[in-house]
Amino acid sequence: MNRIPQHIAIIMDGNGRWAMDRGLDRTFGHKAGLDNLEKITTYCSNLGVKYLTVYAFSIENFNRPAYEVEALMGLVLSFFKMDLFHNNNVSFHVAGDVDRLPQSVQDKLHSMEEETAKHDGMAITIAMSYSAKQEIVNAAKRIARKVQSGEMSIDEIGEDTINENLWTSWMPDPDLLIRTGGEVRISNFLLWQCAYSEFYFCDAYWPDFSEEEFYKAIASYQNRQRRYGKTEAQIEAEEANN
């Protein structure tokens, strides 16, 4: 229990394929996926995870069939139950180009942020209308404007400057990135933030990502040594001193 990742990021992949394997429309998979997100949120909160960030809808997802995009937006409006956040003392946040979303969805997301703002337990962030490349481009533009206006000089720009201008500026980088659905890539998700994250890929589709599968991911993380460029001997000496 002393090696629980403080920040877990999840690419919730495989919803559509889960539904198609059952002869259902893809939208049923997205509904099942959101139902599973409720369970995983509770597992994370109970385990002592401080931050959970999930990839719900990318900017590229706007290229999907219009009916599927519309259904996903409808699920956002109808799914999130405030009891989940109130009962677990969880605060809700959103990261992404929210202005691209329908106004009704924007209003819903912002109202959830406001209603859970005082919760001081785990923080869950939904990446909606999200693109890591776009996030970095936006950060570069904000920094360039500050240089242009004289607020800062080019020589003052460092890693912290980038961090402070990202959509995720208020949270630490993920310790563990989980992707379900059998794909082995991170698909334009948290590219800057995952520089030193541990990755865990599994074949289970997201609706089938059970409590057991979740704990397998945690156990895999706990059996790794995070060195950040140091040697194994250095890390072991530091751990012994602590």
SS3 81: coil
Tally Cβ neighbours within 10 Å of residue 74: 16
107 catalytic? Reply is no
Which residue of the set 13, 15, 36, 175 is catalytic? 13
Tally Cβ neighbours within 10 Å of residue 16: 21
36 catalytic? Reply is no
Residues 169, 138 contacting (CB under 8 angstroms): no
Give the separation between CA 40 and CA 55, rounded to whole angstroms. 14
SS3 169: coil
Q: What are 112's two structure tokens? A: 């959830």
**H-helix or E-strand spanning residue 53:** strand 51-58
SS3 178: strand
Which residue of the set 25, 61, 88, 97 is catalytic? 61
Enzyme catalytic residues: 13, 61
